[in-house]
Structure 1
Amino acid sequence: MDILNLLEVLKPASHVVLVKMENSSNLWDSVSKVLIAILPAFISFIALLFSYYQFKSNMRNQSEQYALGIKQQLMSLKLNTQLATEIELKKDVCKEVRAAFISFMKHHAEQYHAKVDYKELLGNRDTESVRERKRLHEIVMEKAQLIMENKVLLDSYLDLSDPEEFKFFQSLNELSSIALSGGDGTGADLGAAQGKCSVLCFNFIEKRRKEITSLVDTIGN
């Protein structure tokens, strides 16, 4: 009886649940697992952060380059505008000097011829001659005024510190003195003075033309 009771005790019951116990992981293993789990996200965050600052730096560099480009374009535009303005001013000087000089020469010739005709009528006392002398005298006075106006205009364009332009100024004075001196000069004297003055006027305009060409070549460079 005792043996049977002992076997009954040792025999495990069908309803008994066996539990297997395992040792818990240590702290370092847990931390390692957590780090491994979050490492991809951390790397992605660092990459995004680096990309952001790289993008921000690129945008700043592009903005600076754009601003520098705009500044250079504005400076170039300003310089080209100044050059274009200077070119137009020089062109205007050439046109005005040419027009004033042609008028100056024309009035000299007309005044000189009026003086010559006036002198030829001095000995005549008839009414027609007196009337003609009066008309010629008016022409002489009118042309003298126009000569002086044109000369003042021409003188205003001359730089007397420049030797060539000073020669032009002297030649203008010489030409004027022939016409305004009472007709003492001959037609040959007037022609020679006109020829000399014309050459100096051409040199003056040619100098401005070369300056214009040089400025045109500068624009856009």
Structure 2
Amino acid sequence: MDIIQLLEVLKPAKDVVTVQIASQKDPLTPWFDLAKAVLPAAATAFVAWRAMNRSHRQFEITSTRQAAEFDKNLAQQTKALRVQTQIATEIEIKKEECRNVRDTCAQYLSLALESNRYKNDFDLASEYILKGNTQFIEKRNVAHENYLESSRKTLSARMLLMTYLNPETSPSFFESIKNVDTSLVSSAPNFGGVVGKCLAECRMYIEKKQAEISTIATE
């Protein structure tokens, strides 16, 4: 008869107190339980940290590459803009030069023709006076004053026109201007033809500059 049956005989089952005798646990059991609880969480955290670290490194690499590409593109755009600005500036300078040469040459030749007319009036009045017609004295004096004033303006326009020209690159144009001045002083009979030659040289000069502008614009 075992101890339980003995107790049943001695005392009713409802009043029996059962005592569970637990065997002594392994001292490492708490550490195993802790490890079971901590290791999965630690493993998850480690995996998340590795993923975040890798993502961060990839982000840095991508950011560095994008920054380098941005700097490169910015440098290229800046260089292209600088070149375009230089080209636009050079074109505008040549256009301005053409306008200045055209306007100044037209003013110079207009004043030269005016001076030539006043000089002819002066010479004609002087001839009449030499023939004894004194009524032309006043006309001669007026023509002389007009000629001096017009000559002063002609000289000023001529000097301004010369500042736009290079005798080495535009020798024929330069020479035609000198011929106008010489013909005006010497009262050359073909003064109109000399003026026309200078005007033609001016036109060729402007056409040359316009061709240079077209070449620059298509480069």
Coarse TM-score class (shorter-chain normalised): 0.7 to 0.9
Matched with 2:182 is 177
Q: In the TM superposition, what whole-angstrom CA distance separates every residue of 1:1-51 from its partner, at most 9, and x where no partner exists?
A: xxxxxx6xxx244757576799999xxx99x97867744442332121111
C-alpha distance in 1, partners of 2:58/2:140? 96
Matching of residue 168 in structure 1 with residue 173 in structure 2: yes
Out of 110, 118, 136, the residue aligned to residue 129 of structure 1 is 136
Q: Is 1:155 aligned with 2:162?
A: yes
TM-score normalised to structure 2 length? 0.76
- How many Å separate the matches in 2 of 1:16 and 1:146? 137
- Taking the aligned partners of 2:22 and 2:135, their CA distance within structure 1 comes to 158
Q: Deviations over 1:102-135 (max 9, x none)?
A: 1111112122222222222223334430010111
| Letter in structure 2 aligned against 1:207 | K
Aligned in 2, Cα 1:179/1:21: closer, same or farther, shift over 3 Å?
A: same
Paired residue type of 1:173: K
Q: Which residue of 2 aligns with 1:201?
A: 202
Mean CA deviation greater in 140-149 or 95-104: 140-149
2:10 counterpart residue number: none
CA distances 1:120-176 after superposition (whole Å, capped 9, x unpaired): 2223334430010111112222222222211111111112221xx111101110111
SS at match of 1:132: helix
State the match for 2:12 in structure 1: none
Aligned to 2:108: 104
Q: Which of 142, 147, 153 is equivalent to 1:140?
A: 147
After the TM superposition, which residues 1-221 of structure 1 pair with which residues of structure 2 at under 5 Å, given as runs? 11-13=2-4, 15=18, 17=20, 38-125=42-129, 126-162=133-169, 165-181=170-186, 183=187, 185-186=188-189, 189-217=190-218
Q: 1:153-209: CA deviations, max 9, x gaps?
A: 1111112221xx11110111011100022x1x10xx222222221121111111222
TM-score by length of 1: 0.75
CA RMSD between the two structures: 3.0
- Match of 2:128, SS? coil
- Percent same amino acid at aligned positions? 27
